[in-house]
Amino acid sequence: MQKIYFYITTPLYSVEDSPNIGHAYTTLAADVLARHKRARQVPVFFQTGTEEHGSHVEKRAKDTGMAPRAWADSVSGNFKRLWELLNIKYDHFIRTTDPTHEKAVRAVFKKLLLSEDIYPGKHEGLFCRSCEIFYAADELKSGNCPVHGSPAEKVSGDAYFFRLSKYEKALLKHYGENPLFLAPQNRAREILNFVSAGLKDIPVSSGGDSSWGIKAPSNPAQILYAWFGALLNYATGPGYDPDTPSDGFDMKWPADAHLTGKETLRFHAVVWPAMLMALGLELPKKIYAHGWWTVNGEKISKSKSNAISPEDIVREYGADVLRYYIFREVPFGADGDFSLEALKRRYNSELANDLGNLFSRVLSMVRKYLENRLPDKPENADLFNDISARGPEINGKIDAMRFSEALDDIWHIVGILNKAIDDKKPWELARSGSEELKPFLYDLVWSLRVIAGWIYPFMPDTATKMQLGLAVGRTSAEGLETQKPPTLFPRKE
């Protein structure tokens, strides 16, 4: 079967904790890209989900008095509910406890064991249970994991290893021949330097006391690390299973855009591609690693109780405002600081005043001066033609996930329309009976329709309200009648 779908993936989110603003950031970025593609009639398959195995999840469940499966069901449900609240429209939500996924993971393990890309051995080192990865002593920060901040444990025992070192040269060759494979460029350089320094084989299983995971088919005493199954989800979700070929898989694979946080980039930019090479699968087209969010300058941490609740923001401002703020505030890929004060400032200045006031002014003048009637196409549309011509550049920036730049351009155009109203003074044109009034208002309305289309991936509810306000009602001999416009963004005091 021929590839048909533009396939977008997010990392799997661990059910060790409930979702926060960082999880929302990645998934919203995928949703923006997916909506943008769909609006241009591109078939999209958008997958997200939860990673539910591992000793860290088992311990978290026991600490709360729950069985691991019940805990995983509860937290995975929290992710689904948040994605619904944030208006995220995914096509598939995969859980690593799904029976079809577990079956495919076992089949992959057997295939790689047969090809000797996986082999038995013994491991010893400094281990982070949350990462399920061994660190060199100089990678730790005061003996703690550089990602989670938890103490690294000295661990040893039998294990199965993935022959990562075998793919060092192949990975470097792929990076060199595909300069857009890793983004942004500063992250790509980090990965290139890491691989160039030499790769070591890594353990994919443990014979520890945890039973919450997928057992190695060749040795049930060994439990596969959660990351091993999690990295395979991007293939198993659309249908990959070495034992059961699927036509649907070929319609989606490879992934066109994989989004992840910078803390898991080594897994996704090094280990995952090497595993795909070992399986003979085509590599994803692009892996994009975004930065971390801090809150008022401090890293989000349970111990500091500074986690931002997306639900609280949605209750106060609506989902569209959060979606707008996180992509307007910081270039996607860079680190950013989340501030409720900055969110409110952008809301009042850019949403309520710039866009909301523009929308309200234009439709009020249409009601007042044109008796709610519009033509089916603009007349003498200088603004509309100029603004529409900028579409390819804005679309290209969204395609490249340069979201803040696209929004900068859109808001620049919002400013042009507001200035045009101030310069033209339609109210004075109306008093003088000028023939310039109607064409100018028609021009403004059709320009707003273009803007509504551009902001749709970021603010789907707002775009819908704008389109409804600008939509035609009944047809009369004098033109097309508009609908009553809603208030887009009531100002916050």
DSSP assignment of 50-108 equals: EE--SHHHHHHHHHTT--HHHHHHHHHHHHHHHHHHTT---SEEEETT-HHHHHHHHHH
Alpha carbon distances (Å) from 309 to 15, 36, 93:
16, 26, 22
Cα–Cα distance measured from residue 423 to residue 419, given in angstroms and rounded to the nearest whole number:
6
Q: Do 473 and 416 share a domain, yes or no?
A: yes
Q: Do 146 and 45 share a domain, yes or no?
A: yes
Q: Do 207 and 353 share a domain, yes or no?
A: no
Cα–Cα distance measured from residue 63 to residue 305, given in angstroms and rounded to the nearest whole number:
19
Pick from 199, 179, 237: nearest CA to 10: 237
pLDDT for the residue numbered 474:
46
N- to C-terminal Cα separation, the chain: 57
Q: Do 268 and 365 share a domain, yes or no?
A: no
319-329 helix and 460-470 helix, angle to the nearest 10 degrees: 110
Residue 313 lies in a domain: no
Residue type, position 443, single letter: D
DSSP helix/strand/coil, 126: strand
pLDDT for the residue numbered 430:
94
Q: Do 176 and 258 share a domain, yes or no?
A: yes
3-state secondary structure 193-228: HHHHCCCCCEECEECCCCCCCCEECCEEEEEECHHH
Query: Residue 171: CB partners within 8 Å, gap ≥ 6?
Result: 195, 199, 270, 273, 274, 277
How many domains does the chain divide into?
2
Residue 397 lies in a domain: yes
Burial 296-307 (b: 16+ CB within 10 A, else e): eeeebeeeeeeb
Pick from 359, 358, 364, 382: nearest CA to 443: 382
pLDDT tens digits in sequence order for the chain, 493 residues long: 799 999 999 999 999 988 988 899 999 999 999 999 999 999 999 999 999 999 889 999 999 999 999 999 999 999 999 999 999 999 999 999 999 999 999 999 999 999 999 999 987 766 666 666 666 666 666 666 666 566 766 776 789 999 999 999 999 999 999 999 999 999 999 999 999 999 999 999 988 667 899 999 989 999 999 999 999 999 999 999 999 878 799 999 999 999 999 989 999 999 999 999 999 999 999 999 998 888 877 776 555 556 678 999 999 999 999 999 999 999 998 999 998 999 999 999 999 999 999 999 999 998 888 877 766 666 678 899 999 999 999 999 999 999 999 999 999 999 999 999 999 999 999 999 999 999 999 899 999 999 999 999 999 999 999 988 877 554 445 555 555 667 899 999 8
Q: Do 103 and 227 share a domain, yes or no?
A: yes
Q: For residue 116, is it left (φ>0), alpha (ψ between -120 and 50) or beta?
A: left
Residue 188 lies in a domain: yes
Tokens 């958008």 — which residue? Answer: 46
**CATH number of the domain that residue 126 is part of:** 3.40.50.620
pLDDT for the residue numbered 469:
82
Q: Do 350 and 287 share a domain, yes or no?
A: no
Full domain range(s) for residue 427: 340-482
- The answer to whether 409 and 394 have CB atoms below 8 angstroms apart is yes
**CATH number of the domain that residue 445 is part of:** 1.10.730.10
Residue 327 lies in a domain: no
Alpha carbon distances (Å) from 274 to 61, 157, 162, 216, 229:
32, 24, 9, 20, 14
DSSP helix/strand/coil, 184: coil
Cα–Cα distance measured from residue 257 to residue 462, given in angstroms and rounded to the nearest whole number:
26
Q: Do 283 and 350 share a domain, yes or no?
A: no
Residue 180 lies in a domain: yes
Q: Do 195 and 86 share a domain, yes or no?
A: yes
Beta strands in 351-407 (DSSP E): 373-374
Q: Do 360 and 268 share a domain, yes or no?
A: no
Q: Do 269 and 362 share a domain, yes or no?
A: no
Residue 321 lies in a domain: no
- Given 226, 256, 291, the domain boundary residue is 291
DSSP state, 361? H
Q: Do 280 and 367 share a domain, yes or no?
A: no
Residue 328 lies in a domain: no
Residue 319 lies in a domain: no
> What is the pTM for the complete model shown?
0.92
